[in-house]
Amino acid sequence: MHKDLEQAMRGLVEQNKTPIQMRLELLQKGFLEEEVDTALNDRSQKQHSSADKKTNRQLATKEAFDRLGYGFATPQFINILFWMSGASVFLVGLLNGIKAILQLVISSVLQEYSKLHTVPKERIASGGLVFGFSFFIMAIATLAMIPWLFAAGFLLGSLGVVTYGDLYNKLIKELISHEKRTHFLRNSAMYGVIITGISMLLSATIIDNIPGIMLTIGNFPLKVHGFLLSFMITSFAFILGSFVLSKIPDPREQKVYPFAKFFGEHCKTIWNQTKVFMRNKYVLFMLLPAIVSGFLQILGAAYYGIFIYEHFNKIYFGGFMNVAILYIVALIFSLFGPLFTKLVEKNTGLAPHLVFGTLLTAILPLVLAKNPHFYAVMAALVCSVVGASIAGTAQGLIAQKIMDFSTRKVFFVTQALLVAIPYMIMFPLGAWFASTYGFTILFMAIGIGLAAVVAPLYFVLVLITNKMRL
């Protein structure tokens, strides 16, 4: 760049001139139009490059804090500590069911609303603050053995994580394109597993090895437990992640749409389309087994960690460490589920994957009921996680092929409500069954339900869609 032009541009930058104003003044000073345009373009690219690097650093920091938080307080640890706080088996199952229903409905509403209205990143960050604060409540509840307070924190966190998770995923796509992301962000799933896994090991070590240490703060004695430290770390991780998110510049166009107007239109759409879907055989044979499968897997997941903790508490690695190691292995293998589905899709078709994936998920509850040995449970847990990933991926791809875009769009909007309504009846019954008959019979029922009810329903879908070569 010409030195005189460079000095002139630097002076205009110090005066906070806009690019258009800079161009006009530089041309008036006699600089060549081609040189001015080239210089302004170079400056713009440098600014964008610098802004992208800063955004990448901030997003990477936020991701690291989030993964740290998820690892230190996984759902399995939360359910175990809820149970240890004095909650009944019935309450544990019921609360997980309520959480699933709330997250389904709220997630569906927020995702649709965000298409019409730009949700400020500050509001998304506030969801993270709520989520982080909920762990502080759960820690106090566990320490004081107050199940209802733990339940309140648990549900509060469920509301916060939907806003913090779903809307953030949409935000990151709009903030920076995939090709401009760093290697860490492009491979956040892989690095996330590493950070979460290490965090789970650290959390399990802290909980198992700090049963209660007396500290004196001022004149007040305080008994510090490992779970209290883990929950505090989780709380601060999500709060810090929210703080970082609030500092990221938001260049999005701000769209405004009244929520009351949207909600009325949303409810009307669901009401009108539900009748249409009930007459569509493809939708029925996808929806019915999905409802049953989702219910059985969520209900089982509420109790798997508790059973593993209790059964292996005094052997192998002991306590929470057993739970951490088993789920870390499963977490690693979960990365291969979608890849496996895409690799063999062309040879076998998508529909058979629903049957195969469902049968894999049935292995874990059956093994826990009949052969609860550590390494057998590890293998079964891997099969279950991979199976759920395979079935979920295949179901989404089948929906793309048997429905046109407009039908599929409405289907995913209405699906949450169609699933949530039966869940309101099914989860209280499932929690009652668990508290009445115990874990062994419950796991047998879940395994048989997945293998003998859900898998055959998906097999009917295979037969129906056979001519379509799905």
Q: Is the pLDDT score of 47 beyond 70?
A: no
Q: Are residues 126 and 110 in the same domain?
A: yes
- Give the pLDDT of residue 302: 95
**Residue range of the domain that includes 376:** 262-470
Residues 280 and 145 in one domain: no
Indicate which CATH number applies to the domain containing 80: 1.20.1250
Question: What is residue 301's predicted lDDT score, i.e. its pLDDT?
Answer: 95
Of 195, 223, 257, at which residue does a domain stop? 257
Let me know if 20 is exposed, middle or buried by CB neighbors in 10 A (0-12, 13-18, 19+).
Answer: exposed
Residue 48 lies in a domain: no
Examine the domain organization and report whether 270 and 237 are in the same domain: no
Report if residue 54 sits inside a domain. no
Q: What is the largest CA-CA distance in the chain?
A: 89
What local confidence, expressed as pLDDT, does residue 322 receive? 95
Domain match, 133 and 276 both: no
What is the per-residue pLDDT across 214-242, written as a single tens digit (0 to 9) for each?
A: 666 666 666 778 888 999 999 999 999 99
Task: Tell me what pLDDT residue 388 has.
Answer: 85
Non-local (6+) Cβ contacts of 205 within 8 A are 321
What HEC string does 58-86 produce? HHHHHHHHHHHHHHHCCHHHHHHHHHHCC
d(CA 133, CA 155): 12
Residue 22 within a domain: no
pLDDT of residue 219: 66
Looking at the fold, whether 163 and 308 belong to one and the same domain comes out as no
Single residue among 257, 290, 311 that ends a domain in this structure:
257
1-10, 67-76, 100-109, 430-439: least confidently modelled range: 1-10
Domain annotation covers residue 44: no
Decide if pLDDT at 331 tops 80.
yes
Find out whether 449 and 296 touch, Cβ atoms under 8 Å.
Answer: yes
414 lies in the same domain as 331 = yes
125 and 104 housed in the same domain: yes
pLDDT tens digits, one per residue of 132-169 = 999 989 988 888 888 899 999 999 988 888 877 778 88
pLDDT of residue 196: 93
CA distance 74 to 192: 13
Tokens encoding 12: 């205009």
Please check whether residues 279 and 238 belong to one and the same domain: no
The per-residue pLDDT for range 408-442, each reduced to its tens digit, is: 666 777 777 788 889 999 999 999 999 999 999 99
CATH number of 313's domain: 1.20.1250.20
Locate 437 and state its tokens: 């008959």
Residue 334 pLDDT > 70: yes
Residues 272 and 226 in one domain: no
Interaxial angle between packed helices 374-402 and 281-311, expressed in degrees from 0 to 180 and rounded to the nearest 10:
160
Confidence of residue 96 (pLDDT cuts 50, 70, 90): very high
**342: Cα separation from own chain's centroid:** 22
Question: Are 298 and 346 in a shared domain?
Answer: yes
Q: How many domains does the chain have?
A: 2
Q: Tell how many helices (H) and how many strands (E) occur in the chain.
A: 18, 2
Q: Are residues 243 and 329 in the same domain?
A: no
Q: What values do phi and psi take at 211, rounded to 5?
A: -70, -20
Mean pLDDT (whole number) for 182-197: 87
CA 184 to chain centre: 18
Q: Which of 339-348, 372-381, 391-400 comes out lowest in average pLDDT?
A: 339-348
Q: pLDDT tens-digit profile of 383-407?
A: 998 888 888 777 777 777 667 666 6
Going by the DSSP 8-state scheme, the letter that residue 247 receives in this structure is T
Residue where one domain finishes, among candidates 208, 223, 257 = 257
> Is residue 188 domain-shared with residue 115, that is, in the same domain?
yes
Residue 12 located in a structural domain: no
Q: How far is CA 423 from CA 91, 273, 329, 395, in A?
A: 15, 20, 30, 20
3-state secondary structure of 222: strand
Please report whether residue 71 resides in a domain.
Answer: yes
Among 111, 121, 126, 119, CA closest to 55? 121
Tokens of 393: 């991926």
Backbone torsions φ then ψ of 21, nearest 5 degrees: -65, -40
pTM score, two decimals?
A: 0.83
Cα gap 426→142, rounded to integer Å: 28
With b meaning 16 or more CB within 10 Å and e meaning fewer, what string describes 430-455?
bbebbbeeebeebbbbbbebbbeebb
The total number of residues written for the chain in this structure? 470
Distance CA 101, CA 427 (A): 10
Q: Is residue 23 part of a domain?
A: no
Residue 148 within a domain? yes
